[in-house]
Structure 1
């Protein structure tokens, strides 16, 4: 895979001797065979990145990790929305726009904090949607199971781009607080697969001490 990645200290690197607990970044990954069709954009910040894809239809994909909801976070949240707005305005005339990521705000009507309100207003203003009616299944689960919500989205301006929208069940071996959200689109990205990569397989190591062993055992018993 190739990637376009920014981390929390990309623009202001932290000395390795003063590094605090690891902080998140944001990344877009794609198969090596697509690389000639990808252009990394300088637009954005350490929370918002974007790429252009030359395909059957020109695409602009924006990936965002929005600020969490805490004291005065609405100012940083608004700044990120402004950056996303500028990217959409810049490319929407020539490209189909897809916005995705952990938006730390929900489009569900069951919650309405300051981030939720700003996100809902922004989505309405920019004509964004999931492209299909989706269930109210949650995508985020607090590690202590004290709360959950739907805050991870893939949003489009053109609903015709979306063939299928899926929110996956939370896997017992998924150590993230989030589950995955997937979309199948109508876009065809031509790519030549190198023969040397055909037999490559990723290797995974299960972290048994951190996984949900009760759920894992239940699935084994059910034969799933």
Structure 2
């Protein structure tokens, strides 16, 4: 896929690296990883063709057919989560071939989702739609705590991120993961606290005295977080490798 025209990627926290397996299935529009917890979990990230692309219908059919194959292989042994840009509003009243093909796939595998509203706004600002979704198997509904749009001030994409909260048990015997998750703690007893205090005060001085609205408050909060992070990095003792 040409640079600048999309694609998919899946990121995970470093403390999960020993539990994550990348899978060589899919293509540039479909990427998969397996998380080995008490119940194996398959994450599928997708980017379906947009309507303006050449042969978009055939390409969409091809992507959905690949998803059918993946579901058939893994649905008996894994909990499966599918998320990404579907480039189609599956909740509106249109009855396009694209929508029907996606909904047939959803029905064939007993998949569900939650409507979260508008997720995409065209760069011109003249149009918007709901085209981003997270699908889950109905039999695992009790594991889905919430699906919602994430309100992230620093987001610069024309898509709004969707947040899934999932009840999932990681292996309790994996002490390495637990130790790794706390390995980035700052050793405050060995930091220059005066320097840290001065850096924080310099950052606070750049803030407006009293934010006048929600936007200014959000900006102040982000700036303060960045100030604290930068100050911590500068005074934290360098770890020996």
TM-score (structure 1 length as normaliser): 0.74
Q: 1:217 deviation in Å?
A: 7.7
Residue in 1 aligned with 2:156? 175
Deviation at 1:50, TM superposition (A): 0.7
Asked if 2 retains the 8 angstrom alpha-carbon contact of 1:104 and 1:115, the reply is no
1:192 Cα deviation after fit: 2.3
Who is 2:63 aligned against?
A: 80
Report the TM-score, using the length of structure 2 for normalisation: 0.69
Rounded Cα–Cα distance in structure 1 between residues aligned with 2:167 and 2:10: 19
Aligned counterpart for 2:133 among listed residues 148, 153, 160: 153
Distance (Å, rounded) in 1 between the aligned partners of 2:95 and 2:150: 24
Count of aligned residue pairs for this structure pair = 185
Q: Following the alignment from structure 1 to structure 2, what is the Cα–Cα distance between the partners of residues 111 and 85?
A: 23
Equivalent residue number for residue 207 of structure 2? none
SS of match in other structure, 2:57:
helix
Unaligned residue ranges in structure 1 (runs of 5+) = 1-7, 9-19, 200-215
| Structure 2 spans left out of the alignment, 5+ residues | 172-176, 187-210, 219-241
CA displacement 1:202-221 (0-9 Å, x = unmatched)? xxxxxxxxxxxxxx985245
Tell me the residue number matched to 1:28: 10
Separation of aligned partners in 2, 1:29 and 1:193 = 21
Asked if the contact 1:100–1:154 (Cα under 8 Å) also holds between the matched residues in 2, the reply is yes
Structure 1: 4+ residue segments shifted above 6 A: none
CA contact under 8 A between 1:138 and 1:150: conserved in structure 2?
yes
Pair 35,144 (structure 1): closer, same or farther in 2 beyond 3 Å: same
- Do the aligned partners of 1:69 and 1:115 also contact (CA within 8 Å) in 2? no
1:165 pairs with one of 143, 147, 152 = 147
- Give the whole-Å Cα distance in 2 for the aligned partners of 1:118 and 1:179: 24
1:97 paired residue among 53, 77, 80: 80
What is the rounded CA distance, in whole Å, between the counterparts of 2:58 and 2:157 in structure 1?
A: 27
Which structure is larger by alpha-carbon Rg, 1 or 2? 2
Cross-structure match for 1:192: 178
Tell me, in whole angstroms, the C-alpha distance in 1 between the residues paired with 2:212 and 2:50. Answer: 33
Given the alignment, which residue of 109, 112, 115 partners 1:129?
112
C-alpha offsets along residues 114-154 of structure 1, whole Å, 9 cap, x if unaligned?
A: 32222122111221112xx544x111111111211111111
Match of 1:67 in 2: 49
Aligned CA-pair RMSD: 2.2
